[in-house]
Amino acid sequence: MTMRRFEGKVVLVTGAGRGIGRAVAERFAREGAALALVSNDESNLTETVKELEAVAADILAVTADVSDNGQVRDAVEQIVRRFGRVDILVNNAGIAWEESVLDITPENWRRIIDVNLNGMFWVAQEIAKVMVRQREGVILNMASTNGLVGEAKYAHYNASKGGVVLLTKTMAIELGASGIRVNAVCPGYIQTPMSEAIDDTEFVDQYVRDKIPLGRTGKPNDVAGVFAFLASEDAAFVTGECLVVDGGQLAF
């Protein structure tokens, strides 16, 4: 890769310990960015740092649970103290599991909403305060095709991602006058450690045959490239959008 679009930029990535978050962090690092990486899993976060320290301009790793607004506030204070600013937020942290709507417990409902929607908001809110002072910035939220259409056995996940879609649009409306763009990425079926823990190979093969015109699942790098585009000047007039990355699944 020869592009260096993010030299001099500070990029914060949540959920950076594995999967899409790690791929996003690597993409921005290879394009010259300094990284602030947040995850609630210290071991995975350490592994990400080891993989990227040779290519990133600078890295700060912070262990925090995004569902705890106090931990989020402390993490953002550390990041701003270290770098002085945040130019791009990739608000990626999230969880999912399969569960019938009849079986979802209050605890399971709250946990997914707390991480995927509340956590998304706590991070975006704190970073928006920083960016308003800067009078510029880009906030990119991880939504999902599950925030646009329903899927059985994911009521809590679907609800959380639907909330992210409208949170994104509302923030874009409110923050545009401060020079801040806010967009979301809506991946379809991406093979990550989280998806591999849910679905077996037979299910995935059938899913691809039935639902994905491009004939394959997505990879974390497929999503990372879209985040990089939306963060770049090529998307300077794009805000309030939810960009689908699904191999054509929603074209049916």
Sheet containing strand 242-245, edge to edge, reads: 59-63, 34-39, 10-14, 88-91, 137-142, 180-187, 242-245
Contact 95, 112 (CB under 8 A): yes
pLDDT digits (tens, 9 = 90+) for 123-179: 999 999 999 999 999 999 999 999 999 999 999 999 999 999 999 999 999 999 999
154: annotated active-site residue:
no
Q: Which two tokens stand for residue 170?
A: 């509302």
For residue 1, is pLDDT > 70? Answer: no
Q: What domains sit in the chain, N to C, each tagged with a CATH number? A: 10-241 (3.40.50.720)
Burial label, 150 (beta-carbon count in 10 A; 0-12, 13-18, 19+): exposed
Task: Determine what percent of the chain is predicted with pLDDT higher than 90.
Answer: 95
pTM exceeding the 0.85 threshold for the entire prediction: yes
Q: Which residue of the set 154, 157, 189, 207 is catalytic?
A: 157
Contact 143, 165 (CB under 8 A): yes
pLDDT digits (tens, 9 = 90+) for 87-101: 999 999 999 999 999
The span from the CA of 228 to the CA of 27, in Å, is 7
Whole-number pLDDT of residue 2:
62
- 231's enclosing H/E stretch is helix 220-231
pLDDT digits (tens, 9 = 90+) for 217-245: 999 999 999 999 999 999 999 999 999 99
Per 3-state DSSP, the chain is made up of helix, strand and coil in percentages (nearest 5) of 50, 15, 30
